[in-house]
Structure 1
Amino acid sequence: MAAKKKILTKEDIVSMYMNDVLEKGEKLKSVFQFVKGKDFSEAEFYAFFGTLEGLEKEIFKLFLVNTIDLLHKNTDYQDYDMKNKMLSFYFTFFEILTANRSFVLLALKNDSNPIKNLKQLSALRESFKEYVAEILTDDYRIEQERLQKFQEKSLQESAWIQLMLTIKFWMDDVSPAFEKTDIFIEKSVNASFELMNIAPINHLIDLGKFLFKEKIYSK
């Protein structure tokens, strides 16, 4: 009696793709190249992903999904304030990135055009912004009474920029156990929340515009 074929999952495809990329030392060029020699067809691949690009985007989104799953398994997490939830997110997310560092470095340094590199993070970006909106507490909204919808979106965007800066710092970090990244995370998250508590976001935007003009016109 023939052995029953294992049911293919999205996670199986992601794992096999990451392994193939690491073994070849470069991104794969086509779905045909990816499925060649495997026990599933192109048609089965397309049941989960429309393109290899879509698969690559999903990988970085899954890093975030796995991070949030781990956070929710911590019974104390729900009682954390917004800043400590964000710190917990960062440390857990970068533990997952570090466990997959070889793939992440290859994927994000593959193209000299930074815009193309950022494109594969688009699914991560949307999911991260949803996470920021989720942990934006009622206490914070009460403290910032003038916070409007467009300002909340600005907060999500600034949080995304901070995450991108941290990823870049981590990619360049050569310290043992990436201890400098841990320090960067703690200092940058603490600083961002201190700024949010000092003044409304509008004031921070005005300050940013002022500093930008001073930098431009002082040359």
Structure 2
Amino acid sequence: MMAKKTINKDYFINEYSNYILEEGKKPNNVFQFCKNLKVEEGKFYDYFSSFETLEENIFIAFFENTVTLLSKSDDYINYDAKTKLLSFYFTFFEILTSNRSLVLHLLTADKNKLENLKKLSSLRKNFKKFIDGLNINTPKIPQEKIDELKENSISEIAWLQLLMTLKFWIEDTSPSFEKTDIFIEKSMHASFDLLDLTPLKNIFDFGKFLWKEKINTSI
């Protein structure tokens, strides 16, 4: 006797992802998608308002899986902010690599790059909250308004850095995406050197790496 399938958010995400990978396109509409699954259309709307919101949730799932894996490490809680962020990056991109075909489709399917970026809007909110939770130290500046501006913008700068890394990973053709690992490490060192106002060696090193790879910061 076959076990009864559990109809929930993860079920629809998995089935939609499989459809994308097998067909190379999204289903024509929600009705057809649910009919093929032998599920009432209304069940889909219990979790998502459209395929677009489902696609946003795919990236949220990658994010949540990353955070869950990190939380299982007894050492993670004692890491400093920089090490926590590095751990996040390496774990997150390992998960993305495991789902590379799906991620590439979702982020390149639409010729309008802004439409592709919309799929990351919910990820952006969650990632910025994650960054805020790291309590990254910023330089103390006498002027309160300038200091406040720095505090408010740190998560936005971190988000732009994640986008830049994502673009690099998409275009990376190196074995095991080893250049992406280098990119992550160098960019992280450079970013924290800027925050700490420490010597500029890592910043120059990262700049030379970017120049060599001719990175374009827009996805």
Is this a same-fold pair by TM over 0.5? Answer: yes
1:135 aligns with 2:110: no
Equivalent residues in 2 for 1:48-127, closer than 5 Å: 48-127=47-126
Q: 1:144 and 2:143 equivalent?
A: no
* Structure 2 gap ranges (5+): 199-219
Q: Which residue of 2 aligns with 1:209?
A: none
User: Could you tell me how far apart the structure 1 residues matched to 2:54 and 2:152 are?
Assistant: 27
TM-score, structure 1 as length reference: 0.84
TM-score of the aligned structures, taking structure 2 as reference length? 0.84
What is the identity, as a one-letter code, of the residue corresponding to 1:187? K
Deviation sequence 1:117-156 (CA, Å, 0-9, x none): 100100000000000001125xx26x53657444222100
Q: Give the 3 Å change call, closer, same or farther, for CA 150–41 of structure 1 in structure 2.
A: farther
1:8 shift after superposition:
1.1
Deviations 1:20-78 (A, max 9, x none): 01111112332113212213111011011111111011101111111001000011001
Q: 2:183 is matched with which residue?
A: 184
CA distance in 1, matches of 2:195, 2:154: 9
Q: Distance in 1 between matches of 2:108 and 2:91?
A: 23
Query: What SS class does the counterpart of residue 36 from structure 2 fall into?
Result: coil
Provide the residue aligned with 1:196 in structure 2: 195
The alignment status of 1:27 with 2:26, answered yes or no, reads yes
In 1, Cα distance between equivalents of 2:150 and 2:28 = 41
Bigger mean CA offset, 62-71 vs 31-40: 31-40
Supply the AA of the counterpart residue of 1:16: E
- Asked whether the 8 Å contact 2:140–2:147 carries over to 1, the reply is no
Equivalent position amino acid for 1:152 in 2: E
Q: CA deviation at 1:9?
A: 1.6
CA distance in 1, matches of 2:57, 2:149: 28
Task: Tell me how far apart the structure 1 counterparts of residues 151 and 31 of structure 2 sit (CA, whole Å).
Answer: 43
Once the 2 structures are TM-superposed, how far is the Cα of residue 173 of structure 1 from its aligned partner?
Answer: 0.5
Greater RCO (CA < 8 Å, at least 6 residues apart): 1
Q: Which amino acid aligns with 1:117?
A: N
| Range moving further from structure 2, 3-12 or 18-27 | 3-12
Give me the whole-angstrom Cα distance separating, in 1, the residues matched to 2:40 and 2:147.
Answer: 49
Residue 8 of structure 1 aligns to which amino acid in structure 2?
I
Kindly indicate whether the alpha-carbon contact (under 8 Å) linking 1:64 and 1:93 is maintained by their aligned counterparts in 2: yes
Aligned to 1:11: 10
Is this contact kept in 2: 1:27–1:107, CA < 8 A? no
What corresponds to 1:39 in structure 2?
Answer: 38
